[in-house]
Structure 1
Amino acid sequence: MKLLRRVFRLFRLSLHILTGVMLTALMAGILRISFNKPFYQRLISWWLSGVARRVGVRVTLFGEPAGDGVLMVANHISWLDIALLGGYARPRFLSKQEVRHWPVIGWLADKSGTLFITRGKAGAAAQASATILQALQGGRAVLLFPEGTTTTGNDVRTFHARLLAPALDVGVRVQPVALRYPGSDGLTHPLVPYVDQQSLWDNLQGLLGEQEIRAEIHFLPPLETAGLDRKTLAARCEQQVRAVVTQRGEG
């Protein structure tokens, strides 16, 4: 049964990816429509949420996105996080520069308005802050994963404060977002975390064989940034996200 489910879902997902490539080529390549246009944003949102559905993810929402002009910060567990948050919140994502060169995925990310930064080089932090600042000044919501890496999802790593500085510079609110993928024991479903040098293909195969993957998106109340420094702001966001992530009740 798992093999049949895996093959069927992979077929549907492949068709959906092909549809995304063709629509992106039409919108961005031929019609030259900006990713900031509301129709294009809705199309991207539809496509990303469709990726999650075809993998077998059932989503439960708590709260709601604060809208445009906010900085959203979330814990990071899986590549699925992007499909879920992009499908329900429509932010611009911050990603490492290497993703831009990935086949198909990098091209789709670029044409959907992803903000790419170079990590590990001199001046990288300043460049990242400038990129985020420009996007926030343009009025769009920006989402980043301040842990800097994926985790098992059962706790939260330290939120790096440096990337939150643009929110203070512009004076926009910051919305913490907590993600959970609860299994039967209340802990993160063991097949969801994209960690330990696992390949995307190996992770995807495991997910496709499951009957259902449950996901929770908790949009927490936005924080006003006036009078805060970046370390205090990061600590408050981390604390609020951790309070949700470490819940142990059955999802």
Structure 2
Amino acid sequence: MTTHAWMPQSPCGAGCVEGAAPSVTWSRRVARAVAAGSVLLGAVGMLLAIVALPGSARAVVLRGWFRLLLRAFGVRLRVVGADRFQGTAGRGVLVASNHVSWLDEVALDAVQPLRMVAKRDIRSWPVLGRLVAAAGTVFLDRERLRLLPGTVAELGSALRDGAAVGIHPEGTTWCGLASGRFRPALFQAALDAGVPVRPVALRYVLADGAQTSTPAFVGDETLLDAIGRVLRLRGLVVEVHVLDEIAPGRAVDRRELAALAQAAVDAVSAWDIELPGQRTHGHALAA
């Protein structure tokens, strides 16, 4: 694999993922796997019809489908804050969130379908990759920096056209015990288009509100390994915290804009914080 000095790196690996987590019975795991497979296969049959729908209808169908997929995997969705990412209908917005799990995109699209920027590898994921592509995903080749200006220009055009575009500025997944620096490059698209940035914090918690790293997709594990852990886990809730917009003009450049977005997300997603009515494990990653 080609690498370069700016390739996103994460110290997270198998040691970051909790081993002792509440699990469901084998029969429940099988039932979840069958349900999730049925939802995925059903979407393959509807793929052409979904793509042919007008934008607003497609968004409604995709939103419902992603919510159904979460439920099939035994995951509950909890949205905190606004119920959609666009504060003004028809006005573009850049949605910047932390990156923990393969479930991140599913959860975000279950709130409001986005044109996500995702690493090129996701396109090849069985079934889910095709559906993510159908939602208008922009695939980024992290190994070829010379293509980045073209990606920024494409995002800027989509934002000017009124799209809601989602990015994971850390550039790779972290386990949730810690997070990475928000890289500023893609924030340039929001500056160029003159649209707001919507910080969104993703938290994975159990039924009692305790944060968990079990859904994380990190290190050298395969997608099937990460999916298997979610199928076993009891009481998983993904919280999508829709935070206040950062208005155009508030930041002087993309670095300041990235820092503002990261500060907002970190204030909510930090492992050792305590939100009203919730408790956390209080672990920290030594790195």
The alignment's TM-score, normalised by the length of structure 2, stands at: 0.80
| Residue in structure 2 matching 1:171, options 191, 194, 205 | 194
| CA-CA distance at 1:184 after TM superposition | 7.2
The reply on whether 1:250 has 2:273 as its aligned counterpart is no
The reply on whether 1:124 has 2:153 as its aligned counterpart is no
Q: Which amino acid aligns with 1:50?
A: L
The answer as to whether partners of 1:192 and 1:207 remain within 8 angstroms in 2 is yes
Which residue number in structure 2 is paired with residue 224 of structure 1? 247
Which residue number in structure 2 is paired with residue 82 of structure 1? 105
| CA-CA distance at 1:44 after TM superposition | 1.1
| CA-CA distance at 1:137 after TM superposition | 1.6
Aligned counterparts of 1:185 and 1:16: Cα–Cα separation in 2? 28
| Residue in structure 1 matching 2:262, options 226, 231, 238 | 238
Q: Which amino acid aligns with 1:37?
A: G
Structure 2: unaligned runs, 5 residues or longer: 1-23, 281-287
| CA-CA distance at 1:124 after TM superposition | 2.2
More helix by share: 1
* 1:77-122 superposed Cα distances (whole Å, 9 cap, x missing partner): 0011111100102211111223223332332222221112222214
Which residue number in structure 2 is paired with residue 153 of structure 1? 176
State the SS of the aligned residue for 1:197: coil
Aligned counterparts of 2:121 and 2:263: Cα–Cα separation in 1? 30
Which residue number in structure 2 is paired with residue 38 of structure 1? 56
State the SS of the aligned residue for 1:50: helix
| CA-CA distance at 1:188 after TM superposition | 3.4
Structure 1: unaligned runs, 5 residues or longer: none
The answer as to whether partners of 1:2 and 1:210 remain within 8 angstroms in 2 is no
Q: How large is the Cα RMSD of the aligned pairs? A: 1.9
Q: After the TM superposition, which segments of 4 or more aligned residues of structure 1 sit over 6 Å from their partners?
A: none
| CA-CA distance at 1:153 after TM superposition | 0.9
The alignment's TM-score, normalised by the length of structure 1, stands at: 0.91
| Residue in structure 1 matching 2:226, options 192, 198, 203 | 203
Which residue number in structure 2 is paired with residue 56 of structure 1? 74
* 1:23-79 superposed Cα distances (whole Å, 9 cap, x missing partner): 113333xxxx15x61111111111111111111112221111341510000001001
Aligned counterparts of 1:99 and 1:202: Cα–Cα separation in 2? 16
The reply on whether 1:191 has 2:214 as its aligned counterpart is yes
The answer as to whether partners of 2:116 and 2:138 remain within 8 angstroms in 1 is yes
**Count of aligned pairs:** 246
The percent of aligned pairs where both chains have the same amino acid is: 31
Aligned counterparts of 1:144 and 1:173: Cα–Cα separation in 2? 13
Aligned counterparts of 2:233 and 2:241: Cα–Cα separation in 1? 23
Aligned counterparts of 1:207 and 1:102: Cα–Cα separation in 2? 17
